[in-house]
């Protein structure tokens, strides 16, 4: 079956603008998690959505927000962009169940560059 | 809180050398443990996982054993290839479906 898809793959914005990234999970997956990956900080958890509700949240400012639709697709929004927001944004989907077998599957990422 | 610590890189090995990438974790209870691999320009791919103590995950010649007594999940491969050059991430999943990742270890295999 199709994997996790993210659009767009590349994005260039200027400081102060806002941006919306999209993630389509694997069919049947109800959990979508977002991560920011930078060379200095590694992989940092932003938030997780499950059945249209934010279930977990990392330690990022309120400029970072997200939502999930009834078809499990998710969007992430970053407002008032800063230079430090330049990163690879990864989306991961999973069944979202509490059992041990649940596993996250990652999309290819969206490379955001803020000028 | 939960966390994962993995050895810092970069690691450079010759082809057919033995690979070990150390990973230790801090968590209460019994998390599931994972290794992910990231090739240049791509997202993370699941390499292997283990869900309980003494489980061994294996895939593509890579192995890792869940050691609760040492809170470790070290990644090993007996003979690396140039195509194994990538960044490797150790991760744990605990209650609430939140994943915690290590900072990644870059591996370069030279012919």
> Which tens digit of pLDDT belongs to each residue from B66-94?
999 999 999 999 999 999 999 999 999 87
pLDDT of A75 reads 98
Give me the residue from B52, B101, B104 closest to A100, CB to CB.
B52
* B110 burial via Cβ count (<10 Å: 0-12, 13-18, 19+): exposed
Q: Considering only CB atoms, which chain B residues are within 8 Å of A96?
A: 97
Partner-chain contact B46 A105, CB within 8 Å: yes
The verdict on a CB contact (< 8 Å) between A109 and B43 is yes
The answer to whether A93 faces chain B, any CB pair under 8 Å, is no
Higher pLDDT, A96 or B66: B66
Q: Give the pLDDT confidence score for residue A99 in this predicted structure.
A: 63
Taken as a whole, chain A contains a residue count of: 115
Helix (H, G, I), strand (E, B) or coil at A83: helix
3-state helix, strand, coil in chain B (%, to 5): 5, 55, 40
Buried b or exposed e, range B3-26, using 16+ CB within 10 angstroms: ebebbeeebebeeeeebebbbbbe
Helix/strand/coil for B95: helix
Confidence category of residue A1, pLDDT binned at 50, 70, 90: low
Show Cβ contacts of residue B53 under 8 Å, excluding neighbours closer than 6 positions: B30, B66, B67, B68
């Amino acid at each position: 079956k199709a994997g996790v898809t993210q659009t767009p793959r590349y994005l260039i914005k200027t400081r102060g603008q806002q941006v919306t990234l999209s993630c389509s999970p694997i069919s049947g997956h109800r959990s979508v998690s977002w991560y920011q990956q930078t060379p200095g900080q590694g992989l940092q958890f932003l938030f997780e959505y499950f059945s249209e509700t934010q279930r977990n949240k990392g330690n990022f400012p309120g400029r970072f927000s997200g939502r999930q639709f009834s078809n499990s697709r998710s969007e992430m929004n970053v407002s008032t962009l800063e230079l430090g927001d330049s990163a690879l944004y990864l989306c991961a989907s999973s069944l979202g169940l509490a059992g041990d077998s649940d596993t996250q599957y990652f999309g290819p990422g969206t490379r955001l560059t803020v000028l | 809180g939960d966390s994962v610590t993995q050895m810092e890189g970069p690691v450079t090995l010759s082809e057919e050398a033995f690979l070990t990438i150390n990973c230790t974790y801090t968590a209460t209870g019994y998390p599931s443990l994972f290794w992910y691999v990231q090739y240049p320009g791509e997202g993370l791919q699941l390499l292997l996982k283990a869900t309980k103590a003494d489980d061994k995950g294996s895939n593509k010649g890579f192995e890792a054993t869940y050691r609760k007594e040492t809170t470790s999940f070290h990644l090993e491969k007996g003979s690396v290839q140039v195509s194994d050059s990538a960044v490797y991430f150790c991760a744990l999943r605990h209650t609430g479906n939140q994943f915690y990742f290590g900072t990644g270890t870059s591996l370069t295999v030279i012919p």
